[in-house]
Amino acid sequence: GEDVKPFTPEKAKEIVMSLQEPAVFCSMVGNWPALNWNAKYLSALLDGKALQFRLGLKTVDLAPQFETSCSYVKATLEEFLAWSCGQPCLSGPFSCYEYSKYWAYADYKYIARIFEDKPKVFQDIRWSDFGFPGRSGKESTLWIGSEGANTPCHLDSYGCNLVLQVQGRKKWHLFPPDDTSFLYPTRIPYEESSIFSKVNVANPDLKCFPKFRNATAHVVTLNPGQVLLVPRHWWHYVESIDPVTVSINSWIELDADHEARVEEAITRMLVCAIKSAENPSDGDCWLNPTEVEATSHEINLQYLNKAVSAYFKCQKANVSEQASSSSTSAEQRTSASCKRRKREASNEREGCRLLTHKCGFSAFKAGNLQEIPFGPHLIQVLPQSQETSSMGAVAVESDSRDLLHESKGEHMRKLHCSGKQLVMNNDHETPAHQMDSDSSPNASQTALSTNDLLDCLVNPHVISLVARLLLERRV
């Protein structure tokens, strides 16, 4: 029979485009063939094709395991599954990595690329059920990990994010955009569209990062068959908590991305110019592996001008659309209601890149939370401080599984500081000039690094201001 879903595509899209806090959709993907995409099924589908895996240590550390500090191997899913079962690997790509000590992650794999010879499988993923007709696996990415595999805490500069959990469970730590200053943002390692946090949010060093105490975590365990909405500019740290996990996500474009692209172009210019001027022998791996090389100043200036032109082109289109909408409304005042106009993006491509990205989806006006249909099919991801008291009202069944909200636990314990203290950090409990004489060199004598300068210069708040000033020059 027909698969009845709790929300129509139109209503689901309205929720996605208006909700400003994370939430979990249940009972929306029951008929998706992609629910069969467990690692064993994908191994057969890939038929021996190797994927690149990122490997990190399972040991608890104070610092995030950025991609620049990880190891990488190419392996088939068959080899990965044998290793993830704890079988000793005497040969092969995982032979140097003991399962009890390492995790592995085939992350950020474009489905359009790894299944380019099997385009029919794109239709196994049906984002049209969320109000985005034509969006399928071709505009999605695949994530396959072992227990402990994680993505460092970061925010995505572009779009909002829909994440389908297929196999195993993942624990998400999410922080609102207003918490940005508490998360110590950094652009090193540099990757276009990703702003990283210096804090290991699962094991924070509160002596080095005291402002993190003020951050408000929204924590949720995502189960198979559930879809998480990560709103625009929400920070997130994600960790696999089962032996094997498989997820599929798609970033939904927003009109706000055009200004974000100008900000990213400015950031690219500054980071590339300043870091490229450093002595290469310093060995600072500042480029994320996703960034092939540091682009020249001339190329970066082209990026900036293209981004600015795209911004004003979209602004002009929006003004024309609003004028047309106002005219239509005036002619139809006697009508009981006017249907909301919908625009769909065309010619989408795999990544969000400055030169080619076109005008995306128009954002709906932020809705009143009281109007959002929270319930058993749409579950709000609450702040941790609210979880205990609200647990009974929030835990619901989805495909015979509970949505588990995690308690804060003891991970906020104080730990010694292993990082470098900055001279300009006024948030430390002990001023630099009052440090013990037997401590490390006095903070006032600690030389500032290029990265210290960049943390201030390309801080998201600073870049946002610079972008607005720059755009004003073109008005």
CATH of the domain at 175: 2.60.120.10
Domain membership flag for residue 407: no
Domain membership flag for residue 438: no
- What residue numbers bound the domain in which 304 lies? 255-322+458-474
CA distance 102 to 85: 13
pLDDT category of residue 2 using cuts at 50, 70 and 90: low
Q: Output the pLDDT for position 245.
A: 98
What mean pLDDT is predicted for residues 396-400?
Answer: 36
Question: Is 93 found in the same domain as 182?
Answer: yes
Find the helix packing angle between 257-276 and 450-457, rounded to 10°.
Answer: 160
Question: Is 177 found in the same domain as 241?
Answer: yes
CB atoms closer than 10 angstroms to residue 181: 14
pLDDT of residue 269 exceeding 80, the answer is: yes
Picking from 234, 254, 274, the residue at the C-terminal end of a domain is: 254
Question: Is 279 found in the same domain as 241?
Answer: no
pLDDT of residue 423 exceeding 80, the answer is: no
Q: Output the pLDDT for position 331.
A: 53
Sign of CA pseudo-dihedral 456, 458, 460, 463: positive
Domain membership flag for residue 428: no
Distances (CA, A) of 139 to 11, 112, 219, 245, 270: 21, 7, 27, 20, 30
Kindly state the percentage of the chain with pLDDT values over 90. Answer: 69
Q: Which residue has the higher pLDDT, 65 or 61?
A: 65
Question: Is 191 found in the same domain as 154?
Answer: yes
For the chain, how big is the Rg over CA atoms in Å? 23
What mean pLDDT is predicted for residues 258-286?
Answer: 92
Domain membership flag for residue 34: yes
CA distance 220 to 433: 42
344: nearest Cα among 129, 110, 131 = 131
Cis omega before residue 376 (within 30°)? no
Q: Output the pLDDT for position 301.
A: 97
Question: Is 52 found in the same domain as 23?
Answer: yes
pLDDT digits (tens, 9 = 90+) for 346-355: 333 333 333 3
What mean pLDDT is predicted for residues 9-27?
Answer: 97
What mean pLDDT is predicted for residues 431-459?
Answer: 68
Picking from 254, 286, 305, the residue at the C-terminal end of a domain is: 254
Question: Is 131 found in the same domain as 120?
Answer: yes
Q: Output the pLDDT for position 61.
A: 87
Question: Is 76 found in the same domain as 158?
Answer: yes
Domain membership flag for residue 402: no
Question: Is 162 found in the same domain as 66?
Answer: yes
Question: Is 234 found in the same domain as 277?
Answer: no
Count: domains in the chain: 2
What mean pLDDT is predicted for residues 257-261?
Answer: 97
Domain membership flag for residue 373: no
Buried b (16+ CB within 10 A) or exposed e, 407-439: eeeeeeeebeeeeebbeeeeebeeebeebeeee
pLDDT category of residue 390 using cuts at 50, 70 and 90: very low
Picking from 226, 254, 282, the residue at the C-terminal end of a domain is: 254
Domain membership flag for residue 97: yes
pLDDT category of residue 88 using cuts at 50, 70 and 90: confident
Question: Is 116 found in the same domain as 35?
Answer: yes
Sign of CA pseudo-dihedral 319, 322, 328, 333: negative
pLDDT category of residue 122 using cuts at 50, 70 and 90: very high
pLDDT of residue 421 exceeding 50, the answer is: no
Question: Is 205 found in the same domain as 110?
Answer: yes
Q: Output the pLDDT for position 304.
A: 97
Question: Is 267 found in the same domain as 190?
Answer: no
Find the helix packing angle between 460-472 and 257-276, rounded to 10°.
Answer: 110
Domain membership flag for residue 289: yes
